[in-house]
Amino acid sequence: MHLLLLTPQGPTAAAERLLIIESVSIMLIVVLPLLALFYYFAWRYRANNQKARYDPNQPHPLWKEMFLWLIPAAVIALLAPLSWKAAHALDPYKSIATNNLITNNPITIQVIALPWKWLFIYPAQNIATVNFVAFPERAPIRFELTADGPNDAPMSSFWIPQLGSQIYAMAAMETELNLMADSTGEFVGKDTEINGEGYAGMTFKAESVSQDDFNNWVQSIKQSSGTLDWNVYNNLLQPSVSNPPAYYPSVASHLFEGVIMKYMSPKLNAESMP
């Protein structure tokens, strides 16, 4: 899983890989000398080396103290602006900037983290899927996320490593994540927040396809029967493990918003739920 971070397939993941490489390179300024000193002292003060003199009361000149603090201070001085810039540039709420990589229109996908599966709702296409999400290549994706459960909804963390940042999905809240895939391909998606019995199986497949293939995929789902209404949703709400992908050709109106509002006041709950 961690090796996927080094094979990014989107602009956000590529920027994060560069940040990791730069940060690790800077930290090696401290890490490499410390490792060298660690093995040097272990060798010099080994038990059978009678020539090594141990003097715990040896005075430490000021220049030595300053030298010991100067290097880590320099590393922090280099990492601070790097981290500050990246934190703003890679803000998950920030839309993908217009650039020559974007060839298709943006798409919004609503995500509900359930125990222990992922529900994806496409408001513009009026379809829904479970444990499978598809989107056009080179199209900015706006994920809107929340969580729900039969009792207390467990908190989950949504992550597609090859596309970029992870973000939490929490009950009664809506978070946002903006990503994009540079090309077609299949990617692993998972929950990174340990949240109970089915955590290990809370995975999904993400697939980037051409715009024509995406349109055909949507039409193929619409040709099937069934509706993701509140009765079906309440069945999905029950805990289950390693669910196979499922598809729904239509979705109850404002289901995503209703899931969030059900945790609000009783009056709002009554108005939002059928």
pLDDT confidence bin for 265, thresholds 50/70/90: low
Q: Are residues 112 and 244 in the same domain?
A: yes
More confidently predicted of 41 and 117: 117
Q: Are residues 119 and 78 in the same domain?
A: no
Q: Are residues 18 and 154 in the same domain?
A: no
Q: Is there a domain that residue 96 lies in? A: no
CATH of the domain at 245: 2.60.40.420
Polymer length in residues for the chain: 274
Q: Total domain count for the chain?
A: 2
Q: If we measure between CA atoms, which residue out of 262, 238, 269 comes closest to residue 150?
A: 238
pLDDT over threshold 70, residue 43: yes
Q: Is there a domain that residue 95 lies in? A: no
pLDDT over threshold 90, residue 267: no
pLDDT over threshold 70, residue 247: yes
Q: Is there a domain that residue 190 lies in? A: yes
Q: Is there a domain that residue 156 lies in? A: yes
Q: Are residues 80 and 38 in the same domain?
A: yes
- What is the spatial distance between Cα 176 and Cα 51, in angstroms, rounded to a whole number? 63
Q: Is there a domain that residue 14 lies in? A: yes
CATH of the domain at 31: 1.10.287.90
Q: Are residues 67 and 181 in the same domain?
A: no
Q: Which of 54, 89, 124 is the last residue of a domain?
A: 89
Number of Cβ within 10 Å of residue 159's Cβ equals 18
Tens-place pLDDT, residues 121-147: 999 999 999 999 999 999 999 999 999
Q: Which of 40, 63, 89 is the last residue of a domain?
A: 89
Tens-place pLDDT, residues 152-161: 788 999 999 9
Q: Which of 57, 89, 121 is the last residue of a domain?
A: 89
In this predicted structure, what is the pLDDT of residue 270? 47
Tens-place pLDDT, residues 48-107: 888 877 777 777 778 877 887 888 888 899 999 999 999 999 999 999 877 777 888 999
- What is the spatial distance between Cα 191 and Cα 197, in angstroms, rounded to a whole number? 13
Q: Is there a domain that residue 102 lies in? A: no
The per-residue b/e assignment along 185-220, b for 16 or more CB within 10 angstroms, e otherwise, is eebebbbebebeebbeebbbebbbbeeeebeebbee
pLDDT over threshold 90, residue 274: no
Q: Are residues 85 and 166 in the same domain?
A: no
Average pLDDT value for residue range 38-51 = 86
Number of Cβ within 10 Å of residue 165's Cβ equals 18
What is the average pLDDT value for the chain, to the nearest integer?
A: 90
What domain range is 85 assigned to? Answer: 2-89
Q: Are residues 253 and 161 in the same domain?
A: yes
Q: Is there a domain that residue 60 lies in? A: yes
Q: Do residues 52 and 44 make contact, with C-beta atoms less than 8 angstroms apart? A: yes
Q: Is there a domain that residue 180 lies in? A: yes
- What is the spatial distance between Cα 126 and Cα 149, in angstroms, rounded to a whole number? 23
Torsion angles phi and psi, residue 106, rounded to 5 = -60, 155
Q: Are residues 134 and 196 in the same domain?
A: yes
In this predicted structure, what is the pLDDT of residue 148? 96
Which H or E run includes 175? strand 175-179
Q: Are residues 76 and 111 in the same domain?
A: no
The DSSP code for 201 is G
pTM equals 0.86
Q: Are residues 113 and 197 in the same domain?
A: yes
Q: Are residues 121 and 216 in the same domain?
A: yes
Tens-place pLDDT, residues 222-238: 998 889 999 999 999 99
Q: Are residues 175 and 250 in the same domain?
A: yes
In this predicted structure, what is the pLDDT of residue 207? 98
